[in-house]
């Protein structure tokens, strides 16, 4: 089975690289003759990281050549069908599906979120294009509900989870070596913090720093700042590091998805704006607090039984401190909920991969 994979691959975002790693692994188990090709912003890096053939996502001639030669065009996973990033980005991913169909290649959408879709033209375009796919696997129930409300009813559909939940932390000896290599200080519990630029975060930053400072004193923690998308997150992490001083440490290396999960498995808890830091925490069985900058974060927190600090614009020092207090007070129950959710999500991904291969023999 020759499959052309499309997602936000090759940009150095650990979450999307985790999706590709786990998607390729799961499909390789399901299809004995699986031959993937990934569309990537950096094909050489994608081939090095994942051991799959990769081609440039920027060249229409390359896309048309590859999509004509493939048995299936698979869009996903990720958050591709939304207009919060831009109408241009949404149009890019929809056009890929349309072009694939135009040359007679089957199409499917797998492990994707849907929305936000704030503009009427975006909702109309998404509905028209997705109605003609061979199969849909949504990443969460909220996305599936939005699809139904838009009238996307024709394709066979399932709800699963993000395939990155299939990641496993490294063994204890490798974990110790990773912590030593990253020079993360021991002796105190670690509070992982992952941030990203988003509306309202700048105004919330003083309150967030105050809450983290208070947590470090009250719970005896050291903060580990986690730039999952290094190019986008590094400056923000540096700013927080400067304000927190010696109680904080920033990860300075470009880690693999497995290394990120391994690092988070050594944290007592995680606070995150980024979806995949929350997912990596749950995968490691670690409790988490999410800041809901996007519906996908709220959907994940609901599905995993973890805590929400609300939208960035409502994240005051008092509100965040209260949520962190609850995180540590209810740590055992939240950790148990994380493990239960992880196991259920893993099963849903594996079942959905099997279902997808049945829909696309």
Question: Is residue 180 domain-shared with residue 108, that is, in the same domain?
Answer: no
Question: Is residue 114 domain-shared with residue 15, that is, in the same domain?
Answer: yes
pLDDT of residue 315: 80
- Of 140, 111, 119, 86, the closest CA to residue 296 belongs to 140
pLDDT of residue 247: 86
Is the residue at 21 inside a domain?
A: yes
CA torsion sign for 226, 229, 235, 236 is negative
Residue ending a domain, among 159, 181, 214, is 159
Structure token digits, residue 50 = 């994942």
What range defines the domain where residue 262 resides? 172-344
Find the CATH number of the domain harbouring 126.
3.40.50.11930
Question: Is residue 8 domain-shared with residue 104, that is, in the same domain?
Answer: yes
Is the residue at 351 inside a domain?
A: no
Question: Is residue 181 domain-shared with residue 285, that is, in the same domain?
Answer: yes
Find the CATH number of the domain harbouring 253.
3.40.50.2000
Q: Which residue has the tokens 């690092």?
A: 263
3-class state of residue 221 by DSSP: coil
What DSSP designation does 176 have?
A: H
3-class state of residue 258 by DSSP: helix
Is the residue at 78 inside a domain?
A: yes
**Is residue 80 a contact partner of residue 94, using CB atoms and an 8 Å limit?**
no
Question: Is residue 136 domain-shared with residue 205, that is, in the same domain?
Answer: no
Is the residue at 297 inside a domain?
A: yes
**Is residue 323 a contact partner of residue 307, using CB atoms and an 8 Å limit?**
yes
Is the residue at 86 inside a domain?
A: yes
The count of domains in the chain is 2
Question: Is residue 190 domain-shared with residue 92, that is, in the same domain?
Answer: no
Q: How many helices (H) and strands (E) does the chain have?
A: 14, 14
User: One digit per residue, pLDDT tens: the chain, 361 residues?
Assistant: 999 999 999 999 999 999 999 999 999 999 999 999 999 999 999 999 999 999 999 999 999 999 999 999 999 999 999 999 889 999 999 999 999 999 999 999 999 999 999 999 999 999 999 999 999 999 999 999 999 999 999 999 999 999 999 999 999 999 999 999 999 988 899 999 999 999 888 889 999 999 999 999 999 999 999 999 999 999 999 999 999 998 899 999 999 999 999 999 999 999 999 999 999 999 999 999 999 999 899 999 999 999 999 999 888 889 999 999 999 999 999 999 999 999 999 999 999 999 999 999 7
**Is residue 313 a contact partner of residue 203, using CB atoms and an 8 Å limit?**
yes
pLDDT of residue 186: 84
């Amino acid at each position: 089975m020759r499959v052309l994979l499309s997602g936000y691959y090759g940009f150095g975002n650990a979450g999307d690289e985790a999706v590709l790693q786990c998607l390729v692994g799961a499909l390789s188990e399901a299809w004995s003759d699986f031959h993937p090709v990934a569309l990537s912003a950096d094909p050489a890096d994608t081939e090095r990281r994942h051991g799959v053939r990769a081609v440039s996502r920027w060249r229409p001639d390359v896309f048309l050549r590859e999509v004509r030669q493939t048995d299936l065009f698979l869009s996903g996973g990720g958050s591709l069908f939304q207009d919060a990033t831009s109408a241009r980005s949404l149009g890019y991913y929809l056009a890929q599906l349309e072009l694939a169909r135009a040359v007679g290649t089957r199409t499917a959408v797998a492990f994707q979120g849907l929305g936000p879709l704030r503009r009427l033209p975006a909702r109309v375009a998404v509905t028209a294009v997705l109605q003609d796919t061979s199969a849909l696997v949504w990443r969460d129930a909220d996305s599936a509900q939005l699809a139904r409300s838009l009238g996307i009813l024709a394709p066979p559909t399932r709800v699963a989870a993000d395939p990155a939940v299939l990641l496993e932390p490294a063994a204890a000896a490798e974990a110790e070596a990773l912590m030593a290599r990253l020079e993360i200080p021991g002796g105190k519990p670690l509070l992982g913090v992952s941030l990203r630029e988003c509306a309202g975060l700048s105004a919330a930053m003083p309150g967030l720093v105050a809450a983290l400072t208070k947590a470090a004193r009250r719970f005896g923690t050291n903060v580990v700042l986690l730039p999952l998308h290094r190019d986008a997150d590094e400056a923000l992490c540096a700013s927080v590091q400067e304000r927190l001083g010696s109680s904080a440490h920033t990860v300075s290396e470009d880690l693999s998805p497995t290394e990120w999960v391994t690092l988070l498995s050594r944290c007592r808890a995680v606070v995150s704006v980024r979806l995949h830091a929350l997912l990596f925490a749950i995968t490691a069985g670690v409790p988490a607090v999410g800041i809901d900058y996007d519906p996908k974060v709220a959907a994940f927190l609901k599905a995993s039984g973890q805590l929400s600090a609300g939208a960035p614009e409502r994240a005051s020092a008092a509100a965040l401190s209260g949520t962190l207090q609850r995180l540590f007070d209810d740590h055992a129950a939240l950790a148990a909920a994380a493990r239960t959710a992880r196991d259920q999500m893993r099963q849903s991904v594996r079942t959905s991969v099997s279902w997808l291969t049945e829909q696309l023999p």
